[in-house]
Amino acid sequence: MKTQTILITGGIVVNDSGMGYADLLIENEKVKAQALPGTFKDLHVDVSIDATDKFVLPGLIDPHVHFNSPFMGSKTIHDYDNGTIAAAFGGITTIIDFSTQPKGGSLLENLNQKEEEAHGKAYIDWSMHGIILDTDPKALAEIPQLIDKGVPTYKCFTTYRHADRMTDDQGMLRILETTARYGGMLMVHCEDDAIIEYHLNQELAAKHYDSIYHARSRPASAENEAIKRVIALMRECTAPVYIVHTSTAESVDIIEEARQAGLPIHSETCTHYLALTEEALKLENGYYFICSPPLRTQRDIDYLWRAAADGRIEVVSSDDAGMPSQERIKLGKGRFDKITNGMPGIEPRLSIMFTEGYGKGKISLPRLVALTSTNPAKLFGMYPDKGNLFPGADADLVIYNPKGKWTMRASNLHMNDDFCPFEGWKINGHVETVISRGQFVIKNGELVGKPGHGKRVIRKLLDAV
């Protein structure tokens, strides 16, 4: 593809450290310079963009998506074609997907599988995390090889015992030991399996089958206790840990206390935990809102926003894992425990963060950039190439026009789903232009990018992690 120089003028450039009017020069897939307005007025460029009164942000990074992912008898709705298109319309220029190790199988084979899935399809850059289901010597021996190949992060679960996905304490310690030795980072889905099984059996015995009982069967205590357990194991064998989809007020403080004690622990929350409560599970279509951990309360939402603002929460991801609607109904058969878990969310993330967060004074724009771009880049080994708009960084950016309001609906999004968790929400502004490594993917609200432009990002964790 032809190399081009692009000049963006008049915009308010936002990085995690601050914001201000600046002109941005792009050349050879990189940010060439960021300078005072008018600095390049006499320079000849291929393309000039007037971004007056618009925000120019680093391209968003979504470090938690599930493409082509099998779960509970179904498979997620997004692949590297439609998923990266939806991501681009949401201002995202890099995603990190998960690939599940087959029980008894190879983590390295997963990397080859993802390469095949993305080849010729991805509109934006991508990477992957491993999902570890085995902790035998053969599987653990592959972790350093995975790290060497640019995949230094991998995930395990403290629940789903019946689905043969759960990692017990001994297995967790083995992974932590390997992680400490070779320089990776373990991601953990934290829900205590015993607490969940206890409450699940109680609800089913009482013939409580409606969607709201998904939340009742997975109480906040299950998440909080699982995080405490992981921290206890970290004290025995210290290695970097990233807690995925933090959803309770108490879990924020549990993680922060461990961090203040010197443990290398990090946390994210997700868009839906900042916007939706468990009341959605009481709706007629409540089964659409089933995810794990479940949606919580308004108290949790308010606390999560405060933690996102002050740094206790470092990342906001989408955990995009939509499932086919008809399959949810078919597999569930009216029982919450049979319905596949997960919601689509890759495209709405920036719109919700801008409207509900920045628009309502909960976070600043530099903090929005930190949560959705800079911090993911730093934590997952992509900084300084990604996550900022300083000279030398990849020319990944989104121009967001804050003017105008629109109503979010599944019908006016680009996700491969007939359901949107934020159906009917009023949104401020819109994604206007998205550039990935100096090439237009979205231009004036239209898809102009090409499949296959996206490439795999080889990641190496920073020492600070």
CATH number of the domain within which 51 lies: 2.30.40.10
Domain-embedded: residue 230 = yes
Tokens representing 259 are: 């961090």
Beta strands in 315-418 (DSSP E): 315-317, 397-407
Provide mean pLDDT across the span 77-90: 97
Domain-embedded: residue 140 = yes
The answer to whether residues 153 and 209 belong to one domain is: yes
Q: Give me the percent of the chain exceeding a pLDDT of 90.
A: 88
CA-based nearest residue to 342, from 290, 394, 378: 290
Provide mean pLDDT across the span 87-94: 98
Q: Where residue 413 falls among pLDDT bands split at 50, 70, 90? A: very high
Which residues, including other chains, have CB under 8 Å from residue 395's CB and lie 6 or more apart?
A: 6, 26, 29, 30, 31, 435, 436, 437, 438
Distances (CA, A) of 102 to 105, 164, 188: 5, 11, 18
The answer to whether residues 101 and 134 belong to one domain is: yes
In this predicted structure, what is the pLDDT of residue 446?
98
Domain-embedded: residue 454 = no
The answer to whether residues 367 and 437 belong to one domain is: no
Q: Where residue 110 falls among pLDDT bands split at 50, 70, 90? A: confident
d(CA 158, CA 294): 15
The answer to whether residues 351 and 431 belong to one domain is: no
In this predicted structure, what is the pLDDT of residue 102?
78
The answer to whether residues 224 and 312 belong to one domain is: yes
The answer to whether residues 213 and 249 belong to one domain is: yes
In this predicted structure, what is the pLDDT of residue 161?
93
Distances (CA, A) of 235 to 48, 265, 356, 460: 54, 11, 37, 24
Domain-embedded: residue 457 = no
Distances (CA, A) of 310 to 87, 273, 304, 443: 27, 17, 10, 34
In this predicted structure, what is the pLDDT of residue 111?
84
Domain-embedded: residue 464 = no
Q: Is the pLDDT of residue 325 over 90?
A: no
The answer to whether residues 352 and 364 belong to one domain is: yes
Chain-centroid distance of CA 174 in Å reads 26
Name the residue range of residue 396's domain: 6-57+390-405+427-447
Beta strands in 190-328 (DSSP E): 241-243, 265-270, 315-317
The answer to whether residues 283 and 300 belong to one domain is: yes
In this predicted structure, what is the pLDDT of residue 464?
82
Asked if residue 386 lies in contact with residue 418, where contact means CB atoms within 8 angstroms, the answer is no
Asked if residue 174 lies in contact with residue 135, where contact means CB atoms within 8 angstroms, the answer is yes
Q: Where residue 443 falls among pLDDT bands split at 50, 70, 90? A: very high
In this predicted structure, what is the pLDDT of residue 365?
98
Domain-embedded: residue 441 = yes
- β-bridge pairing 397-407 and 315-317: unpaired
Residue pLDDT, tens place only, 278-288: 999 999 999 99
Residue 203 sits in a domain of what CATH number? 3.20.20.140
- 69 vs 94, residue with greater confidence: 94
Q: Which amino acid is at 329?
A: I
The answer to whether residues 41 and 118 belong to one domain is: no
Buried b (16+ CB within 10 A) or exposed e, 170-207: ebbbbbbebbbebbbbbbbbbbbbebbeebbeebeeee
Residue pLDDT, tens place only, 152-172: 999 999 999 988 899 999 999
Q: Is the pLDDT of residue 104 over 90?
A: no
In this predicted structure, what is the pLDDT of residue 112?
85
Q: How many CB atoms lie within 10 A of CB 70?
A: 11
Low-confidence winner among 66-70, 121-125, 270-274, 348-352 (lowest mean pLDDT) = 66-70
Domain-embedded: residue 291 = yes
In this predicted structure, what is the pLDDT of residue 72?
64
The answer to whether residues 190 and 314 belong to one domain is: yes
Q: Is the pLDDT of residue 331 over 80?
A: no
What is the chain's length? Answer: 465
CA-based nearest residue to 321, from 25, 75, 59, 47: 75
d(CA 413, CA 419): 10
Domain-embedded: residue 251 = yes
Residue pLDDT, tens place only, 50-63: 999 999 999 999 99
The answer to whether residues 395 and 370 belong to one domain is: no
Instruction: Map residue 177 onto helix, strand or coil.
Output: helix
Query: Number of structural domains, the chain?
Result: 2
CA-based nearest residue to 332, from 281, 295, 296, 293: 281
Q: Is the pLDDT of residue 1 over 60?
A: no
Residue pLDDT, tens place only, 168-218: 999 999 999 999 999 999 999 999 999 999 999 999 999 999 999 999 999
Q: Give me the percent of the chain exceeding a pLDDT of 70.
A: 98
In this predicted structure, what is the pLDDT of residue 329?
76
In this predicted structure, what is the pLDDT of residue 349?
98
The answer to whether residues 135 and 41 belong to one domain is: no
Q: Is the pLDDT of residue 249 over 80?
A: yes
Count CA atoms closer than 13 A to 24's CA, side-chain side. 35
| Opening angle at CA 122, ends 117 and 128, nearest 5 | 60
